[in-house]
Chains A and B, each alone.
Chain A
């Protein structure tokens, strides 16, 4: 069974600084997808960034980037130039790409607070 672990229940960062959120996962699959989702107080789930396991290059979306270490089963999210609007819960998620087993599993989340 796949599991996703986020070891930091809460984090805080000053506006304009950089913060890194950790995520590790456990799987026997070779091909899969990894995601970071953001959930602001509105409760809406928003995709931040997506990584395909067969791609060695780390994904980047504007101020958001990941450090994907496949051998270590690690998938951390770096937020640069943090903004007040980044305050939210962040969830790491995993989904195998093998047909018929596309179960999307989430970690417990990290509550990020950006301070002015």
Chain B
């Protein structure tokens, strides 16, 4: 049982490059979330989705886009990476009906140089 899997685990980007982070969950969860974690800032919500085909902005959405074409996948895109996007990114998922505990991926450490 894989739970929530994030790809990749580490990445170094040059300023201006683009990339996509993939989050996959095998628990049939309705809700999925993308967070960034920076020292002293906790987990800040970037975007989230309450179901397949739906997305919504969180607290810090600028510079990021997301898509949820399939229920099990939630993609986070950076179109033109900036050093301010250097962070650890976490994906999470939770169920609408069976307990609301959020299950997290292992995180992606992204460095933009």
Contacts and interface: CB of A to CB of B under 8 A. Distances in A.
Interface of A: 6, 9, 33, 35, 37, 43-45, 47, 50, 91, 93, 95, 97, 100-109
Grouping DSSP codes into helix (H, G, I), strand (E, B) and loop, the A interface class, with mixed when no group exceeds half, is loop
Contacts of B40: 9, 108
B30 to A, nearest CB: 8
B104 A50 contact: no
Contact of A106 (B42, B99, B106): B42
A31 to B, nearest CB: 12
Contacts of B74: none
Most B CB atoms within 10 A — which of A35, A37, A103, A108? A103
Given A44-B104, A47-B101, A95-B100, A104 B45 contact: yes
A44 B101 contact: no
A52 B39 CA distance: 29
A100 B50 CA distance: 6
Given A101-B50, A102-B50, A105-B45, 19 more contacts: A33-B100, A43-B106, A45-B90, A45-B92, A45-B104, A50-B99, A50-B101, A91-B43, A93-B102, A95-B100, A102-B31, A102-B48, A102-B96, A103-B48, A103-B58, A104-B31, A104-B45, A106-B45, A109-B42
Contacts of A44: 104, 106
B42 A108 contact: yes
Given A105-B45, A108-B42, A43 B50 contact: no
Interface of B: 31, 33, 35, 40-45, 48, 50, 56, 58-59, 88, 90, 92, 94, 96, 99-102, 104, 106-107
Contact of B48 (A9, A104, A109): A104
B56 A103 contact: yes
B33 A104 contact: yes
Q: Which 7 pairs, one residue from A and one from B, show the smallest C-beta to C-beta distance?
A: A108-B42, A45-B104, A106-B43, A109-B42, A47-B101, A106-B42, A33-B100
Contacts of B48: 102-104
A115 B67 CA distance: 45
